[in-house]
Structure 1
Amino acid sequence: MKLLDRPLRPGDPIAIIEDEEVNRRATGWIVEEADFTPVPVSVIPSSVDELIAEIETRAVAVICDHRLGRGGNVSYYGAEVVAMSNRRKIPAVLLTSYANSDENSSIRRWRSEIPMLLSRGSDSDPERLAQALSLAEDECRGVYTEERKPYRAIVRVQGRRFGPEGVVAECVVTAWQPRTTVDVPASMITENMGVPIERLLGKRLSAEVNIYASTAGELYFQNFKMGPGVPSGW
């Protein structure tokens, strides 16, 4: 069955990607309470492409943890799995204990294709899961809420620092909150523009940003370009 053939409905198989058994069982209970059928993936492949291929044969939607490499040879993050799954039109939700600590770093790279991020514990209930799956399904069909729509916006690189996962660019999105800095993995900018981050400090760039997001963690960034220069006389 392809997603676009029909909406998700009760009893549909939902893949659970989680490397810890206790969390896998807990997520399975939530899936059952939401009237879906849990399909636990107990052995996570070393290749994200292999995992997506397995999902496609076993389920019609996905719930995935973020940090999947504990005690195994998995080198990718769950955020990448969720983004790739949604790109393939398989509704996917990220459910993790590391939502607060990772949303401004390792999750940011794939946030544009993660409709809703759920925090294990506070968001671990059937109603929130059903809401997140519904939002993911809508975006797979090309329907976006105002908070998730991208707009071309000015992004100023105000500073940089070294974080746990590499260099972080401290950015200001003028159309969002001009007095608030937002962390963006520097590699997202440099890979897009081919310019070292050191040469972009203080520069005004432009990017596609969901400027109506309510929190910094919900912001995503795409397609960085050099922005307009500062008008003379400023």
Structure 2
Amino acid sequence: MLVADDDPRDARSVADPLEDAGYRTTILTSFDPYQDADAFLASLLGKYDALVCDHILSGRSRVRFTGAELVSKANLHADNPLPAVLISSHANTDQKGAIHRWREGIPKVVDKSDFSDVVVEAIDFTLAELSGKFARERRTFATPIEVLDVVPGGEVPQARVIVVGWRIATSVWMPLDPIVSATRLQPDELRGRWLEADVNCHAKDAADLYYRNITLAPDLPEGWLEA
């Protein structure tokens, strides 16, 4: 198993409980600044059986990708998925938007303050999902989504939306780029529009939601929400 973290002490604190659980680990703390996530992932495939990766890898060196992007692409790799777990001390900070962008391919995010057995449990959770055994909070079903507002600037462009199948009275932030890519509408054209998507509406927290198969919804009858 590869443990990727630019901080050697943090990498060691992840590797220790994994080794106690019977895994053989390799620690990687430096990265090629010219490699993107796809190239780096290609260099791992066939060499490791699993990956545990920190979200922010650029603290001590230049890196062109985040751990969230790498972990998501590893788990969703079409031909040869590499089971991967994300660790982060940013899960409850402004950086969570960067994690949310890739949440579909991240079954579990482990808080960096609590490795112990949690990281081993996260690996088991990920392996189960990659084998087709989705936990209830990760299963998706189709639901309408109302776009209330968009914020196209910032590190991670976002849209404020109502996910009807999750909590109809609570707005949440979701990544904007997948909406723009799926609908081919400009951000300013999205306010007030309705979408349809497959969403894991049994998730407990908004940060755990992910969105698949986003499409523009047909016009809804007037007064539909009050019916």
Relative to the length of structure 1, the TM-score reads 0.86
Q: Distance in 2 between matches of 1:120 and 1:232?
A: 47
4+ residue stretches of structure 1 with deviation over 4 A? none
SS at match of 1:134: helix
| Residues 1:124 and 2:111 are matched in the alignment | no
Q: How does 1:1-234 map to 2 (within 5 A)?
A: 14-45=1-32, 46-87=35-76, 88-101=80-93, 104-121=96-113, 123-125=114-116, 127-161=117-151, 164-232=154-222
Q: Distance in 1 between matches of 2:101 and 2:120?
A: 25
Q: Deviations over 1:99-152 (max 9, x none)?
A: 11257511122111111111111x311x21121111111122122112111111
Contact 2:161 2:174 in 1 (8 A): yes
Q: Distance in 1 between matches of 2:17 and 2:75?
A: 21
Q: In structure 1, what residue type is equivalent to 2:129? A: E
Indicate how the Cα distance of structure 1 residues 140 and 103 shifts in structure 2: closer, same or farther if over 3 A, else same: farther
Relative to the length of structure 2, the TM-score reads 0.89
Between 75-84 and 51-60, report the one with greater CA deviation.
51-60
Q: In structure 1, what residue type is equivalent to 2:48? A: A
SS at match of 1:101: coil
TM-superposed CA distance for 1:160, in Å, is 2.3
TM-superposed CA distance for 1:156, in Å, is 0.6
Count of matched residue positions in the alignment of Structure 1 and Structure 2: 219
Between 44-53 and 93-102, report the one with greater CA deviation.
44-53
Q: Distance in 1 between matches of 2:135 and 2:4?
A: 26
Q: Distance in 2 between matches of 1:190 and 1:233?
A: 27
Q: Deviations over 1:167-204 (max 9, x none)?
A: 32101101101121111121121012110121110111
Q: CA RMSD in A?
A: 1.8
Structure 2 equivalent of residue 7 of structure 1: none
Unaligned runs of 5+ in 2: none
Between 193-202 and 42-51, report the one with greater CA deviation.
42-51
TM-superposed CA distance for 1:230, in Å, is 2.3
Between 107-116 and 41-50, report the one with greater CA deviation.
41-50
Q: Distance in 2 between matches of 1:48 and 1:168?
A: 22
Contact 1:15 1:58 in 2 (8 A): no
Unaligned runs of 5+ in 1: 1-13
